[in-house]
Amino acid sequence: MVTKDYYAEIHGFSDKINTLTPFWSYTTLLNKISSLMKNYSIREENHISSYLPDDKDAGLGRTASGLPIKHYALGNGSKHILVLGGERGNDIINSQAVYFLISYLAQKISNENLDNILASYTFDFVPVLNPEGYIITTSAIDYYIRSSTQNQSDIESADYDLIVSLFQKYGEAYSKCRDENWSPIHNSLYSYQELFSGIDEKCIPKEYKDVMNQVGMLHHKHGLPYETMCNFVSNGNGIDLLANKNNEQLFKDIDKALKAEQCLYNNDVAFRNVPISYPSSKGCPSKGKDIDGNTIFELENENLAVLNYAKDLSKKNHSIIFLVSSCINPKLINSKNYLHYKEGKMNPCGPFIDQKNMINHYISFIETFLNYLEKIIQKDITITISKNNH
């Protein structure tokens, strides 16, 4: 059963409840995982791909801006359980949920001497498959919080109650997009996007200069409104990783629209003002063009990295027997088992408004994963978790 101490860690609060941030920056997330590595046999995997033989810090691969796609592993078995988080840039809490899963699983195995699991299985964790999108979204939200609270320090020093009130305002504006039932107009904005008026690529930390440049290019080349950074699904190229597949009919529709000097827009109610005819914040499947200017399929680095990893495992007679994803694309890997887990809310910031909702999200993710894991292992090992044991 989950202990009180670990529940408190998932809870994320202490006696100073009003000073805790509701989400973490990309750097904070990585630092938290690094702290786990000091206490448990979690390792950071680098130089794992024969496709990147000279890059010893690439993790699972590198994004177009050169960011490593961080990959962490627990165990040494030939049967791999791959956990992907953050395929979409705005899946902030799902990446955090992966962190709590790593922490819980490592503690459980260590405390209950379940090392036999690690001899048969390798748990592969990719908390943020799309680090560029994660950085873009969190940078925009950080800007919103600091500009609204006049707090010039980073987001993690902001008052929690003030942040909650800002997200309530954001949530209310977000829900209005259902009522703002106008036809898509290029560069028109929804109410929730207007809250980010005045933002630009300069809100992105200087350490991610290449990501900053990519966002600036999307704005200047395609006229993508900066305000959409608050809810950025795509990577820095403006390609939605879950739409990044060879859809010939969609490409024909895109080309038809472009030749008529029109935009093909998203169907998603919250993104109806965002075109998918060219790289944008959501839905665009590819940036590839042939010599005649027709849209063709081009696999993004992030998806290619996962596919290359699966090929490398196959060469070693290893296999991915279970793939877990918060926003799974079944065509990514033909794995034997899938866990299709979704938060269930359109508003990516919704869980931040309610502390209990956010906690239950993490608990539910771990609980669901463990239920599937027990079925796979099929041994006399019971790994349980309870929301009520706290």
DSSP of 20-83:
--SS--HHHHHHHHHHHHHHSS-EE--S--TTSTT-TT-BT-B-TT--BB--EEEE--SEEEEE
Residue 99 burial (CB < 10 Å; 0-12/13-18/19+)?
buried
**Cα(332)–Cα(126) distance, integer angstroms:** 14
Side chain identity, residue 170: Y
Angle between helices 355-377 and 4-11 (to 10 degrees): 120
Q: Which residues contact 270 (CB under 8 A, 6 or more apart)?
A: 174, 177, 190, 192, 231, 346
Classified as helix, coil or strand, 117 is: helix
Classified as helix, coil or strand, 124 is: strand
| pLDDT score of 389 | 38
> For every one of its 390 residues, what pLDDT tens digit does the chain have, with 9 covering 90 and above?
344 444 445 544 333 333 344 578 899 899 999 999 988 889 999 867 777 777 878 889 999 999 999 999 999 999 999 999 999 998 887 888 888 889 888 888 888 877 888 888 999 999 999 999 999 999 998 888 888 776 555 555 556 667 777 777 887 888 787 777 666 666 688 888 998 999 999 999 999 999 999 999 999 988 888 999 999 999 999 999 999 999 999 999 999 988 888 889 988 888 888 889 999 999 999 998 888 888 899 999 999 999 889 888 988 899 888 888 765 333 223 232 223 223 333 333 444 445 556 666 677 777 778 877 877 776 534 444 444 433
**Cα(298)–Cα(287) distance, integer angstroms:** 7
Closest-CA residue to 71 (of 319, 326, 340, 308): 308
DSSP string, 274-293: SBSSSS-SS-----EE-TTS
- The residue written with tokens 């994963």 in the block is 369
Beta strands in 13-112 (DSSP E): 43-44, 72-75, 79-84
**Cα(38)–Cα(108) distance, integer angstroms:** 16
Sign of CA dihedral 189, 192, 198, 202: negative
Domains and CATH numbers, the chain: 4-128+301-377 (3.40.630.10), 133-296 (no CATH)
**Cα(351)–Cα(347) distance, integer angstroms:** 8
**Cα(356)–Cα(13) distance, integer angstroms:** 11
**Cα(317)–Cα(77) distance, integer angstroms:** 11
| pLDDT score of 57 | 85
DSSP string, 164-188: HHHHHHHHHHHHGGGT--PPP-TT-
Strand partners, 210: none
Side chain identity, residue 174: Y
| pLDDT score of 74 | 94
Judge contact between 142 and 100, C-beta under 8 A.
no
| pLDDT score of 83 | 92
- State phi, psi for 249 to the nearest 5 degrees: -65, -40
**Cα(255)–Cα(136) distance, integer angstroms:** 28
pTM confidence score: 0.85
Dig out the tokens for 15 from the structure: 């006696």
Judge contact between 389 and 6, C-beta under 8 A.
no
**How far, in whole angstroms, is CA 134 from its chain's centroid?**
6
**Cα(85)–Cα(31) distance, integer angstroms:** 16
Side chain identity, residue 240: D
